[in-house]
Structure formats: C-alpha cells, structure tokens
Structure 1
Amino acid sequence: MMLPSSSDLHGNERFDLTIRGGRIVTDGRVVEGDLGVRNGCIAAIGGSLPPGKRDIDATGRWVLPGGIDSHCHVEQRSGMGMMCADDFYSATVSAAFGGTTTIVPFAAQHRGMSIPEVLADYSQRAAEKAVIDYGFHLILANPDEQALGVDLPQAIRDGINSIKVYMTYDKMKLDDYQLLDVMALARQEQALVMIHAESNDMIRWIAQRLIERKLTAPKYHSVAHDPLAETEAAYRAIALAQLVDTPVLLVHVAGRDTIEVIRQARQLGANVLAESCPQYMFLKAEDMDRPGLEGSMFCCSPPARDEASQEAVWQGLIDGTLSTYSSDHAPYRFDESGKLPNGDATTFKEMANGVPGIELRLPLLFSEGFLKGRMDIHQFVALASTNHAQLYGMSPRKGAIVLGADADIAIWNAERETTVTASMLHDNTGYTPYEGRTIRGWPEVVISRGRVVVENDQLQVERGSGQFLRRGAPALQGHLPQRAVERPQGRVLKALIGLDKEGQ
C-alpha cells in the first residue's frame, strides 16, 4: 500500500486534531514538535503546525505509535472447553487503556468446525463489541482437503494471512505430516505460520507419571512442561520449515535453550521468527508454588522458567532473535469457569492454561525496558508496534508515525508511577499476576484512527467502533536472516509442490 506524500496531506484544510510539543518517534528519529491529524490519518509532522479543531498538549510527553498486540485470546473457547473471561469489548477496552490500538486475536477452529463458520462467528462478535481495530489469525485444527484446498486459501485472500498450529494439546495438535501440508500451502499463498512448539508426548509422559504419584498441585505444571519439550519441538518445527523453505514464527518462546536454538538456526540461514511475552520476563516457575491452588493463576504454556531464561528473553528481544513482544493474553477467572473446573479437586492437567496481560504488556516494557536503559525508544517502538505491523501485513497503514498512516497514537507520561492492582485494570479476569508491582510510565492519551479512545482515565468511544483489518502479505525483509546457502533438497521440494518453475 502506497501512502500519500506530505503535499497531498497538508493542504490548507484545518486539522481535525493537533498534538502539540511532544517528542514524536518517527522513522528512526525523535522529532520535538507537532503532529496533525486529518480524516483519521497522520497529515503533518513538524514544528508550529496550525491549530486543529482540537489541540492536545503533549509537552514533555512521548508521542509513540499505538501498540499492536499480535497474540491474544479473546472470547475464545479453549480445546478443553473453557471460555475466556474477556469478550471483544472488555479485551479491547483493556488493550486501549494500556496503549494498544490494534489487536490480532485468534479465530479458533476446533475439530468438526468449518473455517467459514468459525470466521463468521468471530467476525460478528468483534464487529459488535470492539472499540479498537482488529484482525484475526486462524487456529487450524483440522487441515483436511476442504480446509487446505478451498477454505484456507479463501481466508488468506480475505485478509487473514496468518495461521496458528499446535504441536501439543491432544484436541488441537497436528502431526508432522500435517504441519508440512500447512507450511507448503502457506508458502504458496504468502501467509505466515505461527507455531506453538512443545512436544506433546514428552509432556504427556511426564504428566501421567506425576498424576499416578498424586503430584497434582499447580507447581507440577512446570515439571510436566519440561524446558526440553519446548526446545525439541522448536528444533523440529524449524527443520520442517526448512524442508519446504517457508518462514515460520514460533510463539511465546520461554526457555533459554530454545532461544539459543532459534539464534543458531537464524545464523545458519533458517527462515525462523519468534516472539516472547511479559510472563517470561517478569514471572518465574516458583510463582506457581503457592498455597492451595493459588499457583494456578500463574500457569501458562509454556510455563515461566527461571532467572536465566528471563535474561535470555530480554537479550533475545534486544538482539533481534525475538522479533515481537505480545501479551498472549489468555484470561481465565480463578473459579470453576476457568482455572478451577473441578473446584478444589482440580489438578494441574485440568486447569486452564494462560495468564492475563493485555493492558500491562506495554507499560511493563516501557518501565523495565526503555526507562531502565535496556533498550532505546526505537527498539521499544519496534517491539511494541512496528515489527507486528510488518510481519502480519499491516504496514505501512499501522505500526509507525508516518505521513498517511492511520493516526494510531499513544501519548506517554514517563514520570507517572502506578502500583498495579487487579481493580485498576479493565479486563474481566479478576486478578493479575503482576499485583503490587510498581510501573513507571503510562499511556495517558490513546488515539485510534484519529479518535481519542482514552483520555483522563476514561473511555471516550462506543462499543463496535473498531474496524476489521484486511491484512496483506507479510513484509519479512529485514526480519529474516540473509540466506547462507541454497539447500539442494529445498530446490527439489519446491519443484515437487509446484512452487519452482525454473527449468520447466
């Protein structure tokens, strides 16, 4: 998508909104000045712009692109049958209060469901409730002939250009043969495959032996999901992707050894991308070792690890081994609707996996990453927004403050200190794993397509005012390593599946 030039946008027409005197992060630079918005788009960036129909004083504030959360679970039923605590209204409101202006949650196919019915269902619910813009990834659990031959290609053409697959969970996982089928189709249709990489058999084998010994407390979730289960599956996923020569993105990477596998694979030229999440930077396995079943509030898959893995995640985000930083917001209440389906008798195998985090994702990174000097403001913006837009086909409309892009903006007060409590947040989970943590920096004004969504700690827009994003092909240049060698087997495979026309 081509954006208009400055001369096309500036004109003599009055701005709908002018943001004045902020530190604007744009195009790898920090510009002290004003930003003009017209018709929902960024129309001018510079000093002393004319007054708008409304002016916002951003003196002393950071003016940043609105965040993009490209991995969150909203109004979704899990493979075990539990419904998330958040619907598209509460989730998008919570996201907006945390500086996020676009989310890409999952439309989850379960076995026996057709892709068109899944997408129609999620689309209707989001259209009625979302207050910010949204797209969808498709979770694919049934890659049969109809799905691969008709429904999935059509979904990609309709702007849902990312597919999530599981290597674990009995009711969701695909075997290696099915994974290769999905990867080959994604390569042909220019879609991105997202992979939950954990070895199902490793986890199942350990879990069975724990249950037999009546070791059922939440802390044993971490024991069952041994770090090797993630590392082995990541290695296998990368090898499968190399066979069909297609890029893949490993989601919610948790462990130090897994990050090293990804780093080495990229150094060898493998087309692998990866993300991580706040729970792997701020939580640890020991958080699950709490009285009774309280530890279940910290259970997610993969589980949080130890301090060495936390540091490895930070380093991976800083050096580019990990390309995106998402919430993996998977909110389940601490009751029989979510974490405790069997009440006090619930075992670690039965509790819903996932933690909330959609509102705190960016404040945590701003406070502990940027303000504490682990990364500069440009790295923060890339991890919070720009990389998501590029990898998932939303750029240049989303993810950056540039002329002609949607006016998705968060104005951050770097001096504001907030002590986190569940009661201050806007999701429906009822608890937060970050209770009591002090965060410095907060997005005080949040703007989506030129609409002020959050201001003065109040929601300013109506439910259903968000828009569906029809996404294009991923823009992967600069995110994938320079290919080291052209593997002969890659050429053979491309010819076999009709993707290489050379010599025909």
Structure 2
Amino acid sequence: MSESSPVNRTLIHGGTVLAASGPFAADVLVEGETIAALLRPGAEPGAVDERIDARGKYVLPGGIDAHTHMEMPFGGAFAVDTFETGTRAAAWGGTTTIIDFPKQEKGTGLESTLDAWHAKAEGQCAIDYGFHMILSDVNDGTLKEMRTCLDRGVNSFKLFMAYPGALYSTDGEILRAMDTAAEIGGLIMMHAENGIAIDELAAKALASGRTEPVQHGLTRPPELEGEATSRAIRLAEVTRAPLYIVHLSAHQALEAVSEARDAGRDVFAETCPQYLYLSLDDLARPDFEGAKYVASPPLREKSHQPSLWKGLRTNDLSVVSTDHCPFCFNEEKQLGREDFTKIPNGIPGVEHRMDLLHQGVVAGELSLARWVDTCATTPARMFGLYPRKGVLAPGSDADIVVYDPAAEQVLSVNTHHMNVDYSAYEGMRVTGKVDTVLSRGSVVISGDEFRGRKSHGKYLPRDSCQLLR
C-alpha cells in the first residue's frame, strides 16, 4: 500500500485580511486545496513549502463573477472569449469563480443545453465555475426539467422580458416559471426591460434613418427598465418566488428594488462596472466607436451613477458582476454598422471588475468591507457556494487574492488578457492591482506570470440561495 503524497503547505504572511465584516491582521495557512487556519501575525505554523509575503497588501477571498457569457451565441455572432481564455483573464483580475449561462434555444431542452455547456467548459477552465440556466422556452417539459437542473447543481433560472422573437417570455410564461421556482426552491433571475415597447422605438428610429450606435441607448430608455423591474417584482409577489434582477443600470429600476426590499420581499439585484463608470456619452462616440459600448440594458446618462453607488452602500444592490460578453470591434460589432439593432450586445470586463470596484474604495464610494462583500461574499451566499467560497476561513477553499492597494495601472487592450480587440476602459488609470492569486491552494497568478493551467478549474454544483428572508 503506497503512501499518499504529502499535502503542500503555504503561508501568506504580513498582510491585512479583508472580510465582509471588516479588515484585520492575520496570516493565512493553506494546506492542500483549503484554508487550514488564520493565525496571529508572526505565529510560526511549522514547516511550510511556500511563503508569500503580503506586507503592505490586502489578503481577500477570490472574487466570484456571477454573470458571464463565455462562447455565447448572440445575433449571428459568438462571444469571443472561450472558457479557456475567459477564465484565464478572470484569474488575472482576481476572480477565482465564474457562474456562466447555458443558453436554451427555442425548441430544445434544458438538460441538453446544460450538457452542451458542460462539454464547452470541461477541462478548459483555469478557475472553478458553475452554471445558471437561461430559460427561453417555457412549457410543460422545460418546467419539469427545472427540477432536474436542481439535481445537477443548477438552481437559478434566467428569463428575459426583452428580445421578442428570441429570448422573450410573456408575463404568463414568467408566472409559470416563477411558480415552479417557488415550489422547488429555485431562484428566478430577470433581464428586466420592456422588449415589446423597445422594439417599437427601435423600428421608429430606423424608419427615420437613425442607425448609429447611440440609438441603442435612446430606444431603450431607463423608464422601460424601471417599468419591467416593477412588473417582475409584482409577478414575484404573486408567486412568492425569490427574484434577482440582473445588470441593473437605472435609478428607476433601483427605486423599485429598494421599495420591495424595504417591504421585506426576497428581491435582490446586481449592477455591473460599466454602469458605474461608462455612460451614454460613450455610446455616442463618433465613427462607429460607440458600437464598442453596446450592451443591454444600455449605458445610461451619468446622472444614474450616484444612485448606483449609493445602492451598493445600502445593499439594495447586493452584487457586482460583469455580464462579460465580448465581441470584437473589427469583426462582430461591424454587423451593425448600418443598423444599430444588429450590433451584438456585450462589453468585455471579467478581468477588471475587482480593480474597478477597488477604485470605488479609493474614491470613497465603498468601504473595504463592501468591496469584498459585493465581489465575493454575497455572490457566494446568493448562489449557494458559501462558505466553500467567498470567505477566508478554516475549511474554505483556498481561493485567495493578495492585492496591492498602492500599485497603479492603466487599463488597455495592449495589456489585458481577454480575447477581444478593444478595452471598454482604454487609458483609464486605476490604483490597486492583483499581486498573487491562488485557486484552491494553487498559485495561478504570481506578479506578472500566469502559473495556472486550463484544466485546473472544477465544476461547482450549487446549493440554494442563503439570503432568503
């Protein structure tokens, strides 16, 4: 009988540990894939195989990006980041878990869709990953398959009030899906925009010869996001289903969420860095440059941004995800040069989420605790991964980021690792940078070196939401 291989021991010492409850001084001992102990600074844990000096740096749980679209088909194009390139870029930015979206096509089943996305991701990911499910065809069969998805570790289901003729669900279909989710303990995620009204506005713009990218924003006004968000909340109240609003961008939608949460409803929402930093002005850039910034919901006027930052501080916005869905400007985005409705919707961002939110800390918009909470701890609790993920505690996975809060960097296509030919934040100077990243105890980023491998990441079956009231 052969002896098992010795467990690798790593000590991260001298840093300030960040938690959702606040910062504190501690050293972190890792044994194998998990955290063995948080030690008094300077305490000697015995023999270790590797020491990581974190003096002057933060030590925080690896980020969880709960909204990505790797290799997703959209409007005749495919998101250009594969699970290999996208998860590697995520690791460079301090994200150690993604939750992606298998996209059910009309006339297909949920299980076959899930199988297809497992085939794309298995053996390709540099970090751990899980799945939500896009439910675009609500019928008796797919409602039954929602139960099967739960057995396979997928308990969150995304529906669309936008994109008639493709992903759109009627209020009746949404009601049926919410009824099922409430019964089986699932979570409904909602893309809340009034797609019927938006299509009318878009057709009117095109008929008037207005084809440029800024029309994407002007024909999807914030009032229609607010209306759809309110309607989704009312449907959830009727069915008693928990509701998670994805990529919230407008203060009208945030007001509806805040009202529901004040009333004690199980309503949650995320926003994305692009809505905190970019605006309608970017969509209006000349020479078709605005196409780089086409996403849905669209970028809003800058006046919405203070409300979103406040929502993050008050927990009316619980999570920051990226909705990472990259399309190259010189290829896929060109499909809409003569018609803004044909521009593939999506902005790259999986690599920059942690840095951009830390910039919010630098600017006084967020505390260190809320930075960690919105980027790691609450996503873990929201999507059934806590305490395995989202916290530095004995027994948790050793997903750890050593972060240098004093380092400066300039975001650029010339230095990012995403598989896309532009940066939405080109030339933006930020303070703070990832120094070292561990995924389940293995160093995947060390300084300017990628030390990971594409087969390292494991699939994460998820439990139910841990934040229900």
Corresponding residue for 1:353?
345
Task: State whether structure 2 residue 397 is matched by structure 1 residue 414.
Answer: no
Alpha-carbon shift at residue 32 of structure 1 (Å): 1.7
Where 1:402 maps in the other structure, the secondary structure is: coil
Return the offset for 1:257. Answer: 1.5
Distance 2:51 2:322 in 1: 32
Q: Quote how far apart the aligned CAs of 1:385 are.
A: 0.4
CA distance in 2, matches of 1:239, 1:181: 14
* 1:341 corresponds to which of 316, 335, 340: 335
Match for residue 31 of structure 1?
Answer: 24
Question: Are 1:159 and 2:153 counterparts?
Answer: yes
For structure 1, which segment, 215-224 or 14-23, has the greater mean C-alpha deviation from structure 2 after superposition? 14-23
Task: Choose which of 105, 112, 133 in structure 1 pairs with 2:107.
Answer: 112
Q: Secondary structure, in 3 states, of the residue corresponding to 1:447?
A: strand
1:269 CA displacement: 2.6
Deviation at 1:29, TM superposition (A): 4.2
Question: Deviation string for 1:120-146 (max 9, x for gaps)?
Answer: 111122112100000001001112211
CA distance in 1, matches of 2:453, 2:276: 34
In structure 2, C-alpha distance between the alignment counterparts of 1:56 and 1:387, rounded to whole Å: 27
Q: In the alignment, which residue of structure 2 is the partner of 1:45? A: 38
**Alignment-mate amino acid for residue 33 of structure 1:** A
Partner residue of 2:386? Answer: 395
Structure 1: which amino acid aligns with 2:227?
E
One-letter amino acid of the counterpart of residue 407, structure 2: R
Deviations 1:377-405 (A, max 9, x none): 11111001000000100011000011100
SS at match of 1:262: helix
How much does 1:326 deviate? 0.4
Which of these residues, 158, 169, 187, is aligned with residue 163 of structure 2?
A: 169
Residue by residue over 1:233-254, the C-alpha shift from the partner in whole angstroms, topping out at 9 and shown as x without a partner, is 0010000000011110011111
Quick one: distance in 1 between partners of 2:7 and 2:291? 54
Post-superposition shift, 1:61? 0.7
For residue 375 of structure 1, give the secondary structure of its aligned residue in structure 2: coil
Look up the match of 1:254: 249
Which is worse superposed, 51-60 or 309-318? 51-60
Give CA-to-partner distance per residue, 1:206-262, whole Å, 9 cap, x none. 111101001010011111101111011001000000001111001111111111121
1:8 alignment counterpart? none
CA–CA separation in structure 2 for the residues paired with 1:261 and 1:31: 36
**Residues 27, 36 of structure 1: CA spacing in aligned structure 2 closer, same or farther, 3 A cutoff?**
farther
Counterpart of 1:500 in structure 2 is none
One of 72, 77, 85 as aligned partner of 1:76: 72
Q: Does 1:309 align with 2:301?
A: no
Q: Following the alignment from structure 2 to structure 1, what is the Cα–Cα distance between the partners of residues 65 and 240?
A: 27
Separation in 2, partners of 1:128, 1:27: 32
* Aligned CA distance change for structure 1 residues 191 and 443 (closer, same or farther; 3 Å): same
Identity of aligned residues (%): 34
What SS does structure 1 have at the residue aligned with 2:73?
A: coil
Per-residue Cα deviation, 1:162-182 (whole angstroms, up to 9, x for no partner): 111100102101001110111
C-alpha separation in 2, matches of 1:291 and 1:26: 43
Equivalent of 2:455 in 453, 461, 464: 464
Instruction: Tell me which residue corresponds to 1:443.
Output: 434
Alignment match, 1:7: none
1:183 counterpart = 2:174 = no
Distance 1:387 1:290 in 2: 35
Q: Are the counterparts in 1 of residues 59 and 401 from structure 2 also a CA contact under 8 Å?
A: yes
Partner of 1:495 in structure 2? none
Contact 2:20–2:370, Cα closer than 8 Å, also in 1:
no
- Give the alignment's Cα RMSD to 1 decimal: 1.3
Using the alignment, how far apart are the partners of 1:27 and 1:111 within structure 2? 41
> For 1:98-137, what aligned pairs fall within 5 Å after superposition?
98-137=93-132
2:51 maps to 1:55: yes
**Which residue of 1 is the match for residue 61 of structure 2?**
65
Partner of 1:474: 465
CA-CA distance at 1:429 after TM superposition: 1.2
- C-alpha distance in 2, partners of 1:201/1:121? 30
1:366 aligns with 2:390: no
Structure 2 CA distance, aligned partners of 1:265 and 1:34? 41
Amino acid at match of 2:155: N
Correspondences of 1:3-18 after superposition (within 5 Å): 16-18=9-11
> Counterparts of 2:260 and 2:25 in 1: how far apart (Å)?
41
TM-score w.r.t. length of structure 2: 0.96
Q: Evaluate the alpha carbon distance shift between residue 222 and residue 27 of structure 1 in structure 2; reply closer, same or farther with a 3 A threshold.
A: closer
Q: Distance in 2 between matches of 1:467 and 1:49?
A: 32
Distance 1:237 1:152 in 2: 19
Match of 2:269 in 1: 274
Change (3 A) 1:371 1:141: same
Determine helix, strand or coil for the equivalent of 1:397: coil
- Equivalent residue letter for 1:18: L
Q: In the alignment, what sits opposite 1:204?
A: 199
1:473 & 1:270 partners in 2: Cα distance? 17
Q: Distance in 1 between matches of 2:257 and 2:200?
A: 25
| Mapped partners of 1:333, 1:158: distance in 2 | 33
Matched residue SS, 1:18: strand
Aligned in 2, Cα 1:32/1:269: closer, same or farther, shift over 3 Å? closer
Q: How far does residue 15 in structure 1 lie from its aligned partner after superposition?
A: 5.9
How far, CA to CA, are the matches of 1:21 and 1:251 in structure 2? 38
| Alignment check: 8 A CA contact 2:10 2:29 kept | yes
Q: Which residue does 2:3 correspond to in 1?
A: none
**Counterpart residue type for residue 56 of structure 2:** G
Does the residue aligned with 2:101 lie in a helix, a strand or coil? strand
Number of residues of Structure 1 aligned to a counterpart in Structure 2: 460
Q: 1:22 aligns with which of 15, 27, 40?
A: 15
**Superposition map of 1:208-247 within 5 A:** 208-247=203-242
Separation in 2, partners of 1:468, 1:401: 20
1:296-340 Cα shifts (integer Å, max 9, x gaps): 00111111112220111101111111110001111011134x212
The answer to whether the Cα contact below 8 Å between 2:19 and 2:372 also exists between their aligned partners in 1 is no
